[in-house]
C-alpha cells in the first residue's frame, strides 16, 4: 500500500498567483467559486496575460458573468484576453482519440459504437481523467511560433469531495499501474499538478458553519491524499464593518429603550444590530479558518448590489490583485 502523501510547503515564492500557468480553484458548492474564478481571470487579463478559463462538464457560468453567450465545448473569447470553454468527457475523449489516430472514421466506428460507449462509461475515473488531461493539454499548447497559447489556465474545479477525486485520479493510476501506457500519459499530468512553479491550488469558502467545516475537512483530505502546491484560502462574501464598538453600545441602548415597539425606527435599529452580529459571527469563523488552515488568506467583501454584473467582477478583481500583491510582499 502506498503511504498517503503530505502537501508540501512551497513557501511564499509560490504565492504570486499571476506567475502561475495552471491555477485550480475548488471549494464547497455555492460559495462563489465561479465568481472568484472570473475575477481572477479578469485580474490576470489586465496584466496582459492570455487566460483560458475551463469549466468542467457543468452548468455554464463564466461566460454569463462576462456578459457573453454560452460557449459550450468550443474555446471562445468572452472578454479582452479571456477565453472560456466548458469541457465534457465526450468531446475531450473524441479530441484525444483523433489526435492519436488522425482518422474520424475510425473514431466513429469504434468509439461511437453503443457497446464501446457503455463500456467506457463504467470505467471508474475515466471521465475525470479525460477532463483533467484535456485541461493539462491546454497548458502545453503552443502557437505557430512555439510560444504558449495561453499564459494562464484557470480551472473551475468540481466541488469538495468530487474535486479531491478529480485531482487525485492521475496519482491513483500512476501508482496502481506504474508500467502501463496509461501511467506514462498520466505521469505528465501528475507532474503538472505537483509542480510549484506552474501550479497552484486555491480553496474558496464562505464564513458560514457548513462551508467552514467542509473547507477544514477538504484541507485535511488534501494533506492526506494530494501532493500539490497550495495557494490561497479565499473567504468570500465578508460583510464590511460599519460601526465602532461605542456606536454599537449606543444603538443597543436606544433599541432597548424603545421596548417591543414595531415601528420603523425600531426595525431599523434591529437591522443595524443584526448586521453587526453577522460581522461578529463571520469574524469568529475567519479566526477558526486561520487557526485550522495555515494558508495565506484573502477576504473578499460582500457587494450589496441589485445587479451582479461585470462591474462587481471588476471590483472583486481589484481586491484580489491588491491582496496577492500584499501577500507576495509580506505585508
pLDDT number for residue 261? 66
| Residues composing the chain | 331
Residue 105's CB is within 10 A of a number of other CB atoms, namely 8
Higher pLDDT, residue 315 or 305: 315
The distance of Cα 83 from the centroid of its chain, to the nearest Å, equals: 16
- Label residue 91 by pLDDT band (50, 70, 90): confident
Q: What is the DSSP letter of 228?
A: -
| Residue 53 to residue 34: CA distance in whole angstroms | 10
Q: Is 284 left (phi over 0), alpha (psi -120 to 50) or beta?
A: alpha
Judge contact between 282 and 207, C-beta under 8 A. yes
| Residue 52 to residue 178: CA distance in whole angstroms | 31
Q: Which of 296, 158, 219 has its CA nearest to residue 7?
A: 219
Evaluate if residue 12 carries a pLDDT over 70: no
- Label residue 95 by pLDDT band (50, 70, 90): low
The mean-pLDDT minimum among 158-172, 187-201, 217-231, 279-293 falls in 158-172
Judge contact between 225 and 303, C-beta under 8 A. no
Judge contact between 27 and 207, C-beta under 8 A. no
pLDDT number for residue 2? 33
Judge contact between 156 and 25, C-beta under 8 A. yes
Q: How large is the average pLDDT for residues 161-170? A: 81
Judge contact between 235 and 207, C-beta under 8 A. yes
Evaluate if residue 283 carries a pLDDT over 80: yes
pLDDT above 70: percentage of residues in the chain: 82
| Residue 279 to residue 215: CA distance in whole angstroms | 20
Evaluate if residue 228 carries a pLDDT over 50: yes
Judge contact between 85 and 115, C-beta under 8 A. no
Q: Convert 189-218 to b/e letters by CB count within 10 Å (16 or more is b).
A: bbebbbbbebbbbbbbbbbbeebbebbbeb
DSSP 3-state of 50: coil
Residue ranges of the alpha helices (H) in the chain?
33-45, 62-65, 89-101, 104-111, 114-121, 126-140, 160-176, 181-193, 209-225, 245-257, 264-292, 310-328
Range 12-242+297-328 classified under CATH 3.40.50.410: no
The distance of Cα 196 from the centroid of its chain, to the nearest Å, equals: 17
Name the pTM for this structure. 0.84
Judge contact between 222 and 230, C-beta under 8 A. yes
| Residue 243 to residue 251: CA distance in whole angstroms | 10
Evaluate if residue 330 carries a pLDDT over 60: yes
Higher pLDDT, residue 117 or 316: 316
Evaluate if residue 7 carries a pLDDT over 80: no
pLDDT above 90: percentage of residues in the chain: 53
Amino acid at each position: 500500500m502506498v503511504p498517503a502523501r503530505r502537501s508540501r510547503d512551497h513557501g511564499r515564492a509560490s504565492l504570486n498567483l499571476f506567475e502561475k500557468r495552471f491555477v485550480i480553484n475548488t471549494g464547497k458548492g455555492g460559495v462563489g467559486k465561479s465568481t472568484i474564478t472570473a475575477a481572477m481571470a479578469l485580474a490576470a487579463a489586465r496584466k496582459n496575460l492570455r487566460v483560458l478559463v475551463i469549466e468542467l462538464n457543468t452548468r455554464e457560468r463564466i461566460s454569463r458573468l462576462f456578459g457573453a453567450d454560452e460557449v459550450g465545448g468550443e474555446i471562445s473569447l468572452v472578454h479582452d484576453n479571456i477565453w472560456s470553454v466548458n469541457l465534457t468527457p465526450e468531446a475531450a475523449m473524441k479530441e484525444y482519440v483523433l489526435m492519436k489516430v488522425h482518422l474520424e472514421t475510425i473514431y466513429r466506428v469504434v468509439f461511437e459504437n453503443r457497446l464501446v460507449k457503455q463500456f467506457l462509461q463504467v470505467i471508474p475515473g475515466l471521465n475525470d481523467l479525460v477532463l483533467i488531461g484535456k485541461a493539462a493539454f491546454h497548458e502545453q499548447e503552443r502557437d505557430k511560433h512555439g510560444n504558449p497559447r495561453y499564459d494562464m489556465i484557470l480551472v473551475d474545479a468540481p466541488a469538495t469531495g468530487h474535486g479531491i477525486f478529480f485531482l487525485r485520479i492521475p496519482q491513483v493510476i500512476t501508482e496502481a499501474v506504474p508500467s502501463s501506457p496509461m501511467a506514462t500519459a498520466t505521469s505528465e499530468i501528475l507532474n503538472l499538478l505537483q509542480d510549484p512553479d506552474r501550479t497552484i491550488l486555491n480553496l474558496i469558502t464562505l464564513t458560514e458553519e457548513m462551508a467552514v467545516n467542509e473547507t477544514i475537512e477538504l484541507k485535511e483530505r488534501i494533506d492526506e491524499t494530494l501532493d500539490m502546491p497550495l495557494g490561497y484560502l479565499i473567504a468570500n462574501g465578508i460583510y464590511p464593518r460599519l460601526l465602532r464598538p461605542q456606536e454599537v453600545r449606543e444603538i443597543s441602548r436606544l433599541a432597548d429603550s424603545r421596548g417591543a415597539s414595531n415601528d420603523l425606527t425600531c426595525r431599523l435599529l434591529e437591522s443595524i444590530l443584526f448586521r453587526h452580529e453577522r460581522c461578529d459571527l463571520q469574524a469568529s469563523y475567519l479566526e477558526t479558518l486561520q487557526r485550522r488552515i495555515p494558508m495565506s488568506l484573502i477576504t473578499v467583501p460582500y457587494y450589496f448590489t441589485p445587479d451582479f454584473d461585470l462591474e462587481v467582477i471588476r471590483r472583486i478583481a481589484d481586491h484580489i490583485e491588491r491582496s496577492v500583491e500584499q501577500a507576495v510582499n509580506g505585508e
